[in-house]
Structures are given as structure tokens and as C-alpha cells.
Structure 1
Amino acid sequence: MAGMTVIPFPTTPECMDRRIIVTGCDSAYFVLVVELIASVRAHMATPIAVIDCGMTAQQVASLHQQGIRVLAPYIPDYTPQHILRRRPSLGINICKLWLDRMLPDCDLILWLDADTWVQDGMAIERLFAAANSGTLAIVPEIGAKRADLLGVRWICPGWMQIRSFLYKNATRARLSFAIRRRIGAKPLLNAGVFCLHRKATIWPVLRRWQEMILPRRNTAFTQDQLCMALAVYIDGLPVTFLDNSHNYLGPWLLDETTGQLANLFFPHPPVGIVHMASQKAMRAALENTMSVPTVQGGQATVNLRYGAMRLRRAAATAP
């Protein structure tokens, strides 16, 4: 694209099985990444990479000792620098749309936010399988998470204002009303979990939208989700939707017999990938808990983090 300078990426060690799981963090989120890695390793030996946006030298060294690849963030030249001065970790959101360039030796790239963890390894396999043909494998925010498909504000009988995530963010990016109208009632594509083939045709389209949106929105937060929605809903790039178990944001339900988090929908199968978005207190400390209903009809006090749920499951399945 004219006006865009692409800096050559450094060579990286070969990705032996051509699949990789990628996340990113700063020093504050490092403990969550450690738990995410442990949750993946409990199911598979797929290579893992972490984008370093503020980890300490000791934290980086500990990842290297576990065989984890640590990547420097790639920040394109159209990024307003004041965005990252205020909050350097937002570089992770920008990097998501450059993973094919950052990992040229890997074919299938699965992104997991630092505040996710894997409860069922088959969710990972299904994401890889869905993306293998070059389609964007992602979970739309519909279903159990919310009763209403989109937010509205009633003005008077017969008149309402759309207040969906996509409509508001497209407005802040100063996109045309024609675009806002086309995406305003569409479900958000949650960029906390997605999978793409390195040769998928959507990558350059995502970056074209990013180059337009990032300077206009004046923030990197959630621009990745807006770019994905525009590439799918406006440009018509191929997408494969997976059910909410592959990026589960709640409502939370516990199966007391297994000690696992269960899907709200009957027959309440185990959640595949837990996403602790909006759970700031629990992310910060294992002792912070919440009360959730159980499949058996009771109530339980839980912390949603992998460290806490692993202990609960061990207790539930102990002889």
C-alpha cells in the first residue's frame, strides 16, 4: 500500500510442525500467560510464542527455559506513537494483524489472548482444522453471552438508535454511514481467539483497514476486532464461525461432578477455551472469587483462572 513502509522481519527458528499458538503480554499479565501455557501443555506439545510488550528480563528468560519463542512486537509506521507511549501493551493488538509476517515459517497460526486458557484440547484442534483451508476461524459474540443481539437506545415509539460495538467503533473511526449501516447490526467477531493460515487472503485486507483506522481512532484497543469485522462483512473474505465454547466469555456454570466450567447451553458440555475478559479482579489474584450456578442446581464459589480450576478439577475427580 502506498505510504506504508514494511520493515523486513528477522528470521526465526523453524516451526517444525507448521502450527503455532501465539499470545502476548507485559509484566503484569505474565502470570496469566504462564497459566495459559500450562493449560495448553496439558493437552498438546504444539509450539507456543509470546509477543513481549513489557516483560522483565527474568520473565523472558523463564519462557526461553520452557522452549517458548519470544517475539518482539511489530509496529507499522502508520501507528500514532503517543498511543504506545501511554500504554505499550496495546502493541499486542496491533501485532495480531501481522502474525503471518512475524512467523513466516509457520502455516497455521492460532491467537489466544493472555486472559484465556484451554480447558478442552479439542477446541484447539477444531480451530486449526477450521482455518486450514484459508478461512478466518473465529467465534461471533452471539448466543448465551447476552440476551440481546445488539444494544439499542429507544428514542420514541418506532425510533431507536443502534448502540452496537461495531457501529460505535466504526463511528469513532469516522467510517462512512454506508459502512456503519452494513455492519451495525452484525455480531462482533471476538479477536481474543482466532486462527488463520499464513497464506490466507484476509491478511493484507486486515492491514489495509488497520492503516485507515488506527490513525483515526487514536487508540489501538479493539481496532483488531473492527478490522476483522470490516474484512468479513464489507469485503466478503471467507470466515468459519465456531460456537461459543471455543471462546467462552460466560455466563458461567460449573459442573460439580467434573470440576469443570460448563457451557450454559444444554446438555452443558465442558467449555473449550475460557476467556476471562472483564474479570479484572479474578485475573489479578486467585483468592478473588465469584458465585456461579452449578449444573446440579446449586451454587459454587469459583475463581475462573486455570490455576484455581485445575485444583478444583483434581479434587472433584480424586478417588
Structure 2
Amino acid sequence: MKTREFGPESAVDRGRVAVVTGADSNYFWLLEGAVESLRSAKERYGFELVVLDFGLTDEEKAVLHDVHDAKVVTAPWIVDVPEHHKTRRNLAFGARCTLPDLLPGIDVFLWFDSDGWVQDDVFYERYIEAAWEGRLAIVREEEEAYPFDWPLMRWNLGNQILGFGLFLGTRVYLSPAINNGFFAAKADHPVWKCWRRRFESAVRRSGKIIMDQHSLKAAIALDRIPTTYLGGELNWICSRGRPVYDPVRKCFCLPYPPYTKIAVMHLAGHDKDCRRQLICVDGGNYETALTYRQRTAPPTRSVAEPLPVPSTSHPLN
């Protein structure tokens, strides 16, 4: 019988579900926004919130525990990689493929990057439903609003060849692009063993620790693990495709009709806190940050006020 270490079973999910995230002190300001945005879903679904400590201070860990009701876990190195890679911060790359070992007794894991935040609690149902069906739930990093990015493609191909060799690396590269900032799987899913084996091998072969996403992609492509690809609104990468704003629904949306509400905003990449010019679906532009705590809505217009002419530089035009 499994030992309960985090809390009671969730009646909604037929077992124990943990939403797991992690950060160091440099990302704490984003981490707080992420866990705040999860509060509504946590109250609704009763999952357990776990934060992996990649270099947090005692004060930050106390805030997570006392204010946000999160269990903070200082994870050990489990994967077999060269010793010089085994820093606390590098656990951000090495810990995700070992979640069932780090957190025994959990039935389903949902990884949630600390630079993301929830706009619609439906994200939880979509990820967890696929996981309970015995599949890895993940989002493809392939969207019509994401422009062609040659430097990113070259970086991916180069690392995948370094990590897996010319033939297998090319096969991995040609498989569907993924983003492992958000994913869900049962504790007994084959992804964990396949991912860990591919990660350890890729790190030793390439000499790079940043092989976590590449090795998960290799596990999907080469080991053919059961996978469900979810829609882009469940992990929208704002640096690759700027969202639009719907002032009626008061939410950020996909930048093409029918302007689906984005469930998870992901601030992957650089300039996470910079302000951006967005377009509204009813016309006009406004400037806002996209972080959970700094985001703003556009100024309210009078009904009689004519709509501004949208910027011709935006992909909606």
C-alpha cells in the first residue's frame, strides 16, 4: 500500500494528483504569480501543489508554504550525469524526468513551469483527463501564429544531433515539436523511464545539461510512448505568438478566429517582464505586461466612441 505523503485523495480525479513546479530565487517573482493563478483550480479540484527548490531562500520557501499552501521539496540529484552538472539550479533540467521517484505515492503528475500562469481552470481537466487515459498530455510547439524561426530550428537540430547522433537526431528533429513547460502523465507511464534514459545518454554524449526537452521529444519519437497532443491554448508561448485581448470576455485570446481564450499563458524566452503592444479583437491597440501580477486591461471606451484603426503590423490585419 502506497504511503500518503501530501494529503487526501481527490474524489474528482480518482487518485492523488500533484501539480508540480519549481524555481530558484531569480524566478521567485514569476513563481509567486504561477501559484497564485493556480489557487482557484486547487480549491476546485483538490490537487496537491508541490514546488521543487532549485535555489530558493528560507524566506521564499516560508511564503510558498504559509501563504500559498504549497509543499516545498528540496530534490536530490537522481539522474546519472557527470558531477560538474549537478548544481542546484541545473535540477531544473534534471528533475522533471524523475518526478515519480522524487514524489512517491502520487498517481498523476502535472508539471507547470514557473513562468506560466492560469487564465482558465479548464487546463487542468484537459491535461488530467488525457493522463488518466494512460497517455502523456503535452502541447505541440507548432501554431499558425508562430512565425518561422530559423535560429530556433538550427538550435534544436544542432542539439538533437549532438545528443542522439546524426541519424536518430534527425529523426527526432523531424518529429512534432513539443514544449515541455506543461505536461501530465501517470506515475506508471513509460515516459518516465524512457525520458530519463534518453536524458542521461544525451547529456553524456553532448556535454550539455539542457537536454530535457530534446530528450522528451526523443522518447516520444523513438520510443513511441502513448501521447495526446493538446491545443495551443493550453500552453501558449507568448514570445512566439503575441496574444490578443477580448474586452468583452476580459481575457487574452489566440490571435486568430474564433479567438479562443488562452487557458495557460507561458512566458518562455527572454524579456519576461517587458511590456508589449497588443491588439483588441474589437479594434485598437494597447500596451501591457503579460505577467500574472503586472498584466492590465485596456482603457474602457465609451460605447459611442469610434473604434481606433488597428495597427497594420499585427498578424490579425
* TM-score relative to the length of structure 1: 0.83
Paired position in structure 2 for 1:55: 56
Paired position in structure 1 for 2:6: 13
Residues 1:265 and 2:250 are matched in the alignment: no
Paired position in structure 2 for 1:144: 144
In structure 2, how many angstroms separate the alpha carbons of the residues matched to 1:79 and 1:109? 24
Matches within 5 A, 1:90-169: 90-148=90-148, 151=150, 163-169=153-159
In structure 1, how many angstroms separate the alpha carbons of the residues matched to 2:8 and 2:109? 11
Residues 1:172 and 2:165 are matched in the alignment: no
In structure 2, how many angstroms separate the alpha carbons of the residues matched to 1:13 and 1:298? 48
Deviation at 1:165, TM superposition (A): 4.8
Residues 1:202 and 2:191 are matched in the alignment: yes
The alignment-based identity, stated in percent, is 25
Note closer, same or farther for the CA distance 1:130–1:281 as it changes in structure 2 (3 Å cut).
closer
The answer on whether the counterparts of 2:78 and 2:98 sit within 8 Å (CA) in structure 1 is no
Gaps of 5+ in 2: 11-15, 301-317
In structure 2, how many angstroms separate the alpha carbons of the residues matched to 1:63 and 1:143? 34
> Counterpart of 1:44 in 2: which secondary structure?
helix
Matches within 5 A, 1:238-249: 238-249=226-237
Paired position in structure 2 for 1:188: 177
In structure 2, how many angstroms separate the alpha carbons of the residues matched to 1:130 and 1:164? 32
The answer on whether the counterparts of 1:15 and 1:106 sit within 8 Å (CA) in structure 2 is no
Gaps of 5+ in 1: 1-9, 153-161, 283-287
Whichever residue aligns with residue 122 of structure 1, its letter is: V
In structure 2, how many angstroms separate the alpha carbons of the residues matched to 1:111 and 1:202? 13
Give the total of aligned pairs: 286
The answer on whether the counterparts of 2:272 and 2:291 sit within 8 Å (CA) in structure 1 is no
In structure 2, how many angstroms separate the alpha carbons of the residues matched to 1:231 and 1:281? 29
In structure 2, how many angstroms separate the alpha carbons of the residues matched to 1:182 and 1:237? 15
In structure 1, how many angstroms separate the alpha carbons of the residues matched to 2:127 and 2:147? 26
Note closer, same or farther for the CA distance 1:145–1:169 as it changes in structure 2 (3 Å cut).
farther
Deviation at 1:49, TM superposition (A): 0.4
Which deviates more, 62-71 or 49-58?
A: 62-71
In structure 2, how many angstroms separate the alpha carbons of the residues matched to 1:36 and 1:210? 27
The answer on whether the counterparts of 2:277 and 2:285 sit within 8 Å (CA) in structure 1 is yes
Whichever residue aligns with residue 202 of structure 2, its letter is: I
> Counterpart of 2:42 in 1: which secondary structure?
coil
Q: 1:70-128, CA deviations, whole angstroms, 9 ceiling, x for partnerless residues? A: 1112313622232344xx32212210000111122111110011100000000111101
The answer on whether the counterparts of 1:25 and 1:114 sit within 8 Å (CA) in structure 2 is yes
Whichever residue aligns with residue 218 of structure 2, its letter is: L
Whichever residue aligns with residue 9 of structure 2, its letter is: M
Deviation at 1:213, TM superposition (A): 1.1
Note closer, same or farther for the CA distance 1:281–1:182 as it changes in structure 2 (3 Å cut).
closer
In structure 2, how many angstroms separate the alpha carbons of the residues matched to 1:44 and 1:181? 40
> Counterpart of 1:28 in 2: which secondary structure?
helix
The answer on whether the counterparts of 2:20 and 2:111 sit within 8 Å (CA) in structure 1 is yes
Q: 1:209-235, CA deviations, whole angstroms, 9 ceiling, x for partnerless residues? A: 1121122232322x1111111111111
The answer on whether the counterparts of 1:164 and 1:184 sit within 8 Å (CA) in structure 2 is no
In structure 1, how many angstroms separate the alpha carbons of the residues matched to 2:176 and 2:59? 41
Residues 1:300 and 2:302 are matched in the alignment: no
Deviation at 1:164, TM superposition (A): 4.7
In structure 1, how many angstroms separate the alpha carbons of the residues matched to 2:31 and 2:263? 17
In structure 2, how many angstroms separate the alpha carbons of the residues matched to 1:127 and 1:201? 17
The answer on whether the counterparts of 1:134 and 1:201 sit within 8 Å (CA) in structure 2 is no
Q: 1:12-46, CA deviations, whole angstroms, 9 ceiling, x for partnerless residues? A: 33453201110000011112111111111133322
Paired position in structure 2 for 1:218: 207
Note closer, same or farther for the CA distance 1:133–1:299 as it changes in structure 2 (3 Å cut).
same
Whichever residue aligns with residue 220 of structure 1, its letter is: I
* TM-score relative to the length of structure 2: 0.83
In structure 2, how many angstroms separate the alpha carbons of the residues matched to 1:186 and 1:308? 36
Paired position in structure 1 for 2:310: none
Note closer, same or farther for the CA distance 1:280–1:213 as it changes in structure 2 (3 Å cut).
same
Note closer, same or farther for the CA distance 1:140–1:77 as it changes in structure 2 (3 Å cut).
closer
Note closer, same or farther for the CA distance 1:50–1:186 as it changes in structure 2 (3 Å cut).
same
In structure 2, how many angstroms separate the alpha carbons of the residues matched to 1:195 and 1:281? 24
